[in-house]
Structure 1
Amino acid sequence: MRAGLTFAAVTFAALTTLAFANPPKDVADLIGAPAAGAETEMVNRGYENMKNNTWWNPEMGVCVHVDVLDGNFTSVTMIARTGCGQSGGAAATCPPDLPEANLAKQPGCSL
C-alpha cells in the first residue's frame, strides 16, 4: 500500500513538473543563450527585471523565472503573477499560450 502511494506521489510530481516546465512562447528561444544578450532581449520583448531572475511582462500579464548556469539561460518558467509582485484580481489578463494545467498558478485567469 505504501509503495503504491509513493509511486502515485512521484508520478504526480513528475507530471506536474512537466506541465509547468513549458516556457512562454515569446521567450522560449532564449534558452541556451548567453545571459547578457538574453536579458537585453527580454527587455526588448517587454519584460521588466523584477529581482532574482524574475521577469514581469505587464502587457501580457506574464511572470517568469529564469535559471542561469555558466552564464547561459538554462530555463524560463512561467510562475504566478504574485511572484512578480502583482495581484491576481479579476482584471488580470491571461497569457495567450497558458496551458490549462497552469490556471491554478494564474489567479483570475479562465479559459
Structure 2
Amino acid sequence: MKHGRIGSSLVFLAATGMVVTPAMANSARDLRYIEGQNYGTAYNQLRDRGFSHIEDHSDNDGRTHTYWWNEDRKDCVHVEVRRGNVSDVSDAKNSDCNKGGGGGDAAAAVGVIAGVALLGALLSKKHHKKGKEYDDRGTAEFERGYRDGLHHTQYHNYNRTDAYSEGYEAGSEQRSANLRHHKGYAGYRQTVQFKDLDGDRARSADSALQSRGFRNVDGFKSNSAAYTIWYRSQSNQCLQMMVVNGRVDDIRDIRTHPQCR
C-alpha cells in the first residue's frame, strides 16, 4: 500500500510540474542598465558579466532577438535589439539557449520519477506553435509546412490541414526575416543602407541621404503626407520617402522613376 501511495504522489507531482520545473533566474533585473545602449557596447557588457552569445534571429518588425547564456548561474536571457540599440532585456528559459532545463535537486527528482513521467508523456504530448497547441500529428504537419515555407518550395498541403498552412506561413515569414540584410540587388555594384532612417526626423533623414550619395530628384504631396524621390547613380538606387508630421513614415526602393536616371 505504501508503494501505491508513493506512486500516486509521484504521478501527481509529475503531472502538475511541481517537481521537475526549476525556478527561472532573474539576471534580466541586473541587466536593465544596458537597455538603450548601442548593441556593440551592450555586447561587451554582457561578455564582461560572464554571458556567452548563443544565437539570434530577426522578425518582420525589424527587431533582432538575441539569447545569452551564463554558465556560472545556469541562466538564459533574451536581449531584444532595434535599430542597433537594446530595446528590452528579459529572462528566458534555459531551453531558449539550447540548454537543459534543470540541475541540482530538480535533476535528481527527475531521475527518481523518470518511469512515471514517461507514462505521463505517452498519455499526452502536445506542442505550441504560433500561440496554438498541436498534438503530435499537428506538430508534424506544422513543421513540414514550416520547412517548405522556409526553403521557398511549393505549397503542398496534401493533408489539407490548418497546421501545415500555418507552418508554411511561419516559415515564409522567417525566410523574409533571415534575408532582411539582402537589398534585393544582383551584380557587382555596392548598394547603401537606408531602412535605418525609418522614423527619423525628415531634416535628419535628408542630410543622411545626401551624405550617402543620394540626390533629391522629385517630390509631391498627398493629403497629409509629403513624398520625395531620391536617386543614387553609383548604385542605381531609386528611393521614395514618405514624411508625415515631420518624420519618415516609410522609405523604400521603388527601383524606377522618370527622374531616377
Aligned CA-pair RMSD:
2.1
Between the aligned partners of 1:39 and 1:62, the Cα distance in structure 2 is 17
Q: Which has the higher strand share?
A: 2
TM-score by length of 2: 0.26
Superposed, 1:32-47 pairs within 5 Å as: 32-47=36-51
Is 1:51 the counterpart of 2:55? The answer is yes
Between the aligned partners of 1:63 and 1:23, the Cα distance in structure 2 is 8
Deviation string 1:13-71 (CA, Å, 9 cap, x unpaired) is xxxxxxxxx86232110000010000011000000000101100111121011111111
Length, aligned pairs only: 72
Structure index of larger Rg: 2
TM-score by length of 1: 0.59
Superposed, 1:1-111 pairs within 5 Å as: 24-52=28-56, 53-91=66-104
| 8 A contact 1:66–1:77 mirrored in 2 | yes
State the secondary structure of the residue aligned to 1:77: strand
Tell me which amino acid in the other structure corresponds to 1:60.
Answer: R
| 8 A contact 2:27–2:75 mirrored in 1 | no
Q: Which runs of 4+ in 1 moved over 3 A?
A: none
Aligned pair in 2 of structure 1 residues 31, 23: CA closer, same or farther (>3 Å)? farther
- Name stretches of at least 5 consecutive residues in structure 2 with no aligned partner: 1-25, 57-65, 107-261
Higher RCO (CA < 8 A, seq sep 6+): 1
Equivalence for 1:97: none
- Name stretches of at least 5 consecutive residues in structure 1 with no aligned partner: 1-21, 94-111
Q: Percent identity?
A: 28
Between the aligned partners of 2:28 and 2:50, the Cα distance in structure 1 is 13
